[in-house]
Amino acid sequence: MDLTSTIRQKVHELADRLPSNATWNDVRYEVELCASIERGLAQSEAGQGVPHEDVLKEFGIAE
């Protein structure tokens, strides 16, 4: 989904991608997923990301 699309356009695109047997839970999941991705992208663009090395350290993963 294009970040410049309106919410209304995004909802239509989402509905078109859902299978015919989708449930309200499926819709809710997809909406929250899209919103979460957009929040993350906005945070990244604002320089609020966490460096890769810090994440690896937090999870105890050696490079």
Distance between CA 37 and CA 43 in Å, rounded? Answer: 10
Give residue 60's region: left, alpha or beta (phi > 0; psi -120 to 50): left
Residue 12 corresponds to which tokens in the numbers above?
Answer: 């239509």
CA dist 21 and 19 (Å) reads 5
What are the tokens at 47?
């320089």
Q: What's residue 5's pLDDT?
A: 74
Q: Where are the beta strands (DSSP E) in the chain?
A: none
**DSSP category for residue 59:** T
The predicted model scores a pTM of 0.68
Q: Per residue of the chain (63 residues), what is the pLDDT tens digit? A: 455 678 899 999 999 999 999 999 999 999 999 999 999 999 999 999 888 899 999 999 976
